[in-house]
Structure 1
Amino acid sequence: MRGTKLRSLLKADSRYKFNLNPLRALFETTDIFKSLEEKSQIRQILSIIETELQTEFKIGGHPDYDYLLDKISTPEDFLDDHNRITDVKMCSLFIDLRNFTKRALFIEEPGLETLNEIADIKQKAISTWIKIARFYQGHIHSITGDGIMVLIGGEQEEDKDEWIIGGRALLIALRVLESTDILNEEMKDTLKNKGVEHYSHPDNLLDIKVGIEYSEKTLMNPQGVIVQTDYQNKSVGEVKATSFEVDFAAKVLASYKSATKDIEGSPKYGRVLMMGEKYIELMEFNDSVAYKKIDSYERQMFNQKNCRQIYYLDCCEYKDKIITLDDVAGLCDVYDDSEDAKAASIYIAAKGDKIQHG
Structure 2
Amino acid sequence: MKILITGGAGFIGSAVIRHLMQNTQDLVVNVDKLTYAANPDSLGDLCHSDRYVFEQMDICNRAELERVFAAQSPDAVMHLAAESHVDRSLTGPGAFIETNILGTYTLLEVARAYWQGLDAPEQAAFRFHHVSTDEVYGDLGANDALFTESTSYAPSSPYSASKASSDHLVRAWQRSYGLPTLITNCSNNYGPCQFPEKLIPLVILNALEGKPLPIYGKGEQRRDWLHVEDHARALYTVLKRGTVGETYNIGGLNELRNIDVVHTLCEQLDQLRPCGAGSYKRLITHVQDRPGHDQRYAIDAGKVQRELGWAPLETFESGLRKTVQWYLDNPGWVARVKSGAYQQWIDAQYGDCQVTA
TM normalised by structure 1 equals 0.26
Greater length-normalized contact order (CA 8 Å, ≥ 6 residues apart): 1
Instruction: Please tell me whether Structure 1 or Structure 2 has the larger radius of gyration of its CA atoms.
Output: 1
The structure carrying a bigger helix percent of its residues is 2
